[in-house]
Chains A and B, each alone.
Chain A
Amino acid sequence: KQEVTQIPAALSVPEGENLVLNCSFTDSAIYNLQWFRQDPGKGLTSLLLIQSSQREQTSGRLNASLDKSSGRSTLYIAASQPGDSATYLCAVLSGGSYIPTFGRGTSLIVHP
């Protein structure tokens, strides 16, 4: 059974810092990995999707990398802003079960 872990669980940083959020998974047989953000009381917003054959994806100040062999992905946020404050979740679509498995998320606060 796929297990997804996100570290750290919570993070508080001053505006302008570069951040790295981590996501690890136990079964490397995946189709893809997707990063989301979730604002309080809202649904999930897709940020980036990395297919299993890819190593990274970029969107604006966000860069996500994938290392399938080590079961890890990182989300890099450059020059953080207060508007980046949210919970960031990663989800892995596993090859065997085809069930999306989510981590518990990293709660990020960027203060001015």
Chain B
Amino acid sequence: EAGVVQSPRYKIIEKKQPVAFWCNPISGHNTLYWYRQNLGQGPELLIRYENEEAVDDSQLPKDRFSAERLKGVDSTLKIQPAELGDSAVYLCASSGGGRANNEQFFGPGTRLTVL
């Protein structure tokens, strides 16, 4: 069974440019998470989807970040325009099952560098 797939693995852009990240979760997983991880820190949740519905986006900087999960399967996270402080690793995870047993599985991440 394929794991969580993310692309691209690396992205280098200049500030003020747009960038998009793509995630395909494990088949059958209804819950999808986008995280941002800065160096030396744990991941911080940006947005959580239950199927196609964004049920928690309180930590998503909505002035420049947007996300979508059309048809409740794969998802795209966009930044426009990017700032220097957006340099980080963007991780996608998915889970199935109920709240107590919703083991999260992570993709390899996208390392973003904003110059």
Q: Which residues of A contact B (CB under 8 A)?
A: 4, 31-32, 34, 36, 41-46, 49, 51-53, 89, 91, 93, 97-100, 102-105
Residue of B nearest to A4 (CB): B42
CB within 8 Å for A103 and B102 given contacts A43-B109, A44-B91, A98-B56: no
Choose from B6, B43, B100 the contact partner of A51 (Cβ within 8 Å): B100
Choose from A32, A93, A99, A103 the contact partner of B42 (Cβ within 8 Å): A103
* Top-6 shortest CB links A-B: A102-B42, A44-B106, A43-B106, A51-B100, A43-B108, A31-B99
Q: Are B100 and A32 in contact (CB under 8 A)?
A: yes
Q: Are A100 and B33 in contact (CB under 8 A)?
A: yes
Q: Which residues of B contact A (CB under 8 A)?
A: 4, 6, 33, 40-45, 48, 56, 59, 91, 93, 99-109, 111
8 chain-A/chain-B pairs, Cβ below 8 angstroms = A32-B102, A41-B111, A43-B106, A43-B107, A46-B104, A51-B100, A51-B101, A93-B102
Set of chain B residues within 8 Å of A36, measured between Cβ atoms = 106
CB distance from A53 to the nearest CB of B (A): 7
Set of chain A residues within 8 Å of B106, measured between Cβ atoms = 36, 43-46
Q: Are A102 and B43 in contact (CB under 8 A)?
A: yes
CB distance from A11 to the nearest CB of B (A): 15
Measured CA separation A45–B100 after assembly (Å): 19
Choose from A31, A42, A102 the contact partner of B100 (Cβ within 8 Å): A31
Q: Are A99 and B107 in contact (CB under 8 A)?
A: no
Measured CA separation A42–B110 after assembly (Å): 9
Set of chain A residues within 8 Å of B6, measured between Cβ atoms = 43
Q: Are B56 and A44 in contact (CB under 8 A)?
A: no
Choose from B40, B45, B103 the contact partner of A49 (Cβ within 8 Å): B103
Measured CA separation A4–B104 after assembly (Å): 17
Measured CA separation A104–B56 after assembly (Å): 22
CB within 8 Å for A53 and B100 given contacts A44-B43, A100-B33, A102-B42: yes
